[in-house]
Structure 1
Amino acid sequence: MDVVLVECPNQPGEVARVSEAIAAKGINIKTGACLCCGDRGTIGLVTSDESGTRAVLDEAGISYRTLECMTVTMPDRPGELARVSRRLAEAGVNIEFFAPTVLDEETTLAVGVADAEIARKALAG
């Protein structure tokens, strides 16, 4: 399994631009995360069709890179991410992406936004 990392400007519409291009080809985004700092951001996505996703991004002229992605199962309790990440660090492994995976038929995502009130209104309508 690979994760696709798209570096982009930190501006409205970037997540929409990337996800719309992928959706237009019928590819499902299984999980993802994005993080911005200053005027740049990175969108990380795991999709149902890795080669198709790369082809879509190439066709759309969206630059990206891929990383191998593995799954790690851990108990849901304080300190588990710290334990796992420390073990990886001690092995010289740099974590460049992590996000929840689908555990059931539904997934709940934490979505960080600059103005939660505007976001709630947008999703309500």
Structure 2
Amino acid sequence: MTPDELRSACLAFAGVGEEFPFDEANSVFKVRGKIFAISRLAGVPLRVSLKCDPELAVQLRSTFPAITPGYHLNKRHWNTVVLDGSVPERLVREMIEDSYDLASPGLRSAAGEAPLGGPGPW
């Protein structure tokens, strides 16, 4: 996943904005004023921090070495993903969607969009 693809994936949901509250280098994606993704899009390697259900967060970390507890975030509720190709892009996109849903419960349902299923085969 490229920086542009990551930005597009985060901005693809209703009500999302990109802000730079920390500095010009760190993109913060918010919905309803709540953060659901943070990335230094020019960083090498590219990383993104995403909200995650605590039980799923532990499972993902034990399955993928590129997924670690959230960098400078609540380690129980956030994962940081190194986008080096070792985590399937489909899973990264599902994690972005899950993070959005956790930050904005009910928003997609209210808009008539289907809710997410459980973790897939990745």
Give your verdict on TM over 0.5.
Answer: no
Please report the TM-score for the alignment, with normalisation by the length of structure 1. 0.28
**TM-score, normalised via structure 2 length:** 0.29
User: Higher RCO, 1 or 2 (CA under 8 Å, sep at least 6)?
Assistant: 1
Q: Which has the larger radius of gyration?
A: 1
